[in-house]
Structure 1
Amino acid sequence: MDLPRSFTIRESGHRILNPFTPGKLATLGQALALPAGTRMLDLASGKGEMLCTWARDHGVSGIGVDVSTVFTTAARERAVELGVADRVTFVHGDASGHVADEPVDVASCIGATWIGDGLTGTLELLERSLRAGGLLLVGEPYWRIDPPDQATVEGCHMRRADELRSLPGLLARFGELGWDVVEMVLADQDSWDRYAAAQWLSVRRWLDGHPDDELAGEMRAELTTAPVRHALYQREYLGWGVFAIMRRPL
């Protein structure tokens, strides 16, 4: 059970595995004003940057679960580096079936709602670990501009335009599912660049060091097309944000 190597090659230079910069991640933590002692569960936790930095900056504790052995190892190393290994734990496992042993104050899935087969299923999964009155954090893409054609849809790594909503449509969807949106921090074009362009450098450095690897052809083809594809499609049309939601009272 692990991610394909292409993922870990592509994101080898990243600490945050989504279109957030460290500044935006810090802004989200500050906006939520989580009290010290807040207990978190982060599904698809990647390299653990959110849990580790929030443990350092806000005194939270928690568990991260991720299917990648490489990312989980990096998360554990980051916890030691920041001096928070006594407060955060990282587990290698299938986040799609993980439920906390005890209800947590905050449950999150930042940019990986495929673990619940989409937004609705992921919210249902997260809520199974959440205490009454707790907070869910969900990272999710949306159409920044409506895609004009199928080429744009596929250029944003989607199969159909209706796989995503507009930002107003996404916010409305949370309400339809019975949740109040109480905070959000959105990526912008610059933070998209930082996420995407850093991958190109990581891939090129890997190719220089592994010209005979069985993945070299695939990664070479990706690097050849990725910059133009990003500029044409993802940068212009695809939005992304983290949304904080709370269950509406019955």
Structure 2
Amino acid sequence: MRCGRRAGRLPPVERDLISRLAHADHPIAAPLGDAAVTALLNRALPRGDEHILDLGCGGGEWLLRALALAPDATAEGVDVSEAALDHARREAAQRGLADRLTLHEQDAAAFTPDQPPDLVLCVGSTHVFGGLLPALAAARKVLAPGGRVLVGDGYWERDPSPAAVEILGDLADLPTTVDTVTADGWVPVYGHISTRHELDDYEWNWTGSLAERAPGQLATATEHRNEWLRVYRDCFGFLTLVLTPAG
């Protein structure tokens, strides 16, 4: 979730630092395990030679795993965080993927690629666009004919408290979320509902990694953990979908 919606309450430099440290042990910045990430990417990349665009790529982990799975694919990522993009470049070089990855430091909502992507990724960063439907609209605008979108966003598993809405935003329940996507002209061809283990593992890593690596941010880690355990753990879920345009 790339530091989540709560990140908007922090200055950009502090937000970038906290996000990088908090995701050090869980580089997929969303509540998904490795097996789920691989399964989603395999369904999203049926040919293996696609051009991929990540709108809000953060440290680039989705793109790096996609390139590792699809040796003939190319990718580009967009993010406003210079530190996150520098991390992505270092990781790409270490994994031998740098020649197939291009990164852009700019607002994902204003980015137009030179080459229409066959796959658009936007997992845990729909808030950059103002929500799920605006993110899908941005993806549709640049997507190549016959392309796919891999999008991930939160939903309410049960009625949230006002405090949970304040922290995570105005989400819908799971059926309504899927209905909203299909009514917008998309066909789900695959999906993953994050398990309780994936959701908890993400939060334990977020809070623990930050506390361990930045003792000066212990109060931030503690606040996040308390919000998770006391406010939204029992009502928040996360859905990731592979979509194709209808018609």
Instruction: Encode CA deviations 1:199-230: one digit per residue, 9 max, x unaligned.
Output: 2222222343xxxxxxx4xx333233333432
> Per-residue deviation at 1:33?
4.7
1:158 to 168, 175, 186: 168
Unpaired runs of at least 5, structure 1? 209-215
Contact 1:39-1:105 within 8 A present in 2 as well: yes
Instruction: Encode CA deviations 1:80-111: one digit per residue, 9 max, x unaligned.
Output: 22211111222222111111112111112111
Unpaired runs of at least 5, structure 2? 1-10
Contact 2:40-2:242 within 8 A present in 1 as well: no
1:111 aligns with 2:121: no
Q: Counterparts of 1:233 and 1:30 in 2: how far apart (Å)?
A: 35
Q: What is the DSSP-based 3-state SS (H/G/I as helix, E as strand, rest coil) of the residue aligned with 1:29?
A: helix
Q: Partner of 1:213 in structure 2?
A: none
> Per-residue deviation at 1:42?
0.7
Letter of the aligned partner of 2:168 in structure 1? M
> Per-residue deviation at 1:11?
2.8
Contact 1:99-1:125 within 8 A present in 2 as well: no
TM norm structure 1: 0.85
1:100 aligns with 2:113: yes
Q: Partner of 1:183 in structure 2?
A: 190
Aligned-pair identity in percent equals 26
2:177 to 170, 181, 197: 170
Q: What is the DSSP-based 3-state SS (H/G/I as helix, E as strand, rest coil) of the residue aligned with 1:240?
A: strand
Q: Counterparts of 2:12 and 2:104 in 1: how far apart (Å)?
A: 12
Q: What is the DSSP-based 3-state SS (H/G/I as helix, E as strand, rest coil) of the residue aligned with 1:142?
A: strand
Q: Counterparts of 1:81 and 1:52 in 2: how far apart (Å)?
A: 11
Q: Counterparts of 1:67 and 1:2 in 2: how far apart (Å)?
A: 9
Q: What is the DSSP-based 3-state SS (H/G/I as helix, E as strand, rest coil) of the residue aligned with 1:114?
A: helix
Call closer, same or farther: CA 1:62–1:33 in 2, change over 3 Å: closer
Q: Counterparts of 1:118 and 1:224 in 2: how far apart (Å)?
A: 27
Call closer, same or farther: CA 1:112–1:33 in 2, change over 3 Å: closer
Structural RMSD (CA): 2.0
Q: Partner of 1:11 in structure 2?
A: 23
> Per-residue deviation at 1:2?
5.3
Q: Partner of 2:32 in structure 1?
A: 20
Q: Counterparts of 2:186 and 2:116 in 1: how far apart (Å)?
A: 18
> Per-residue deviation at 1:18?
1.2
- Provide the aligned length of Structure 1 versus Structure 2: 234
Written as runs of structure 1 = structure 2, the 5 A alignment for 1:185-224 is 185-208=192-215, 216=216, 219-224=217-222
Written as runs of structure 1 = structure 2, the 5 A alignment for 1:16-95 is 16-59=28-71, 60-95=73-108
Letter of the aligned partner of 2:221 in structure 1? L
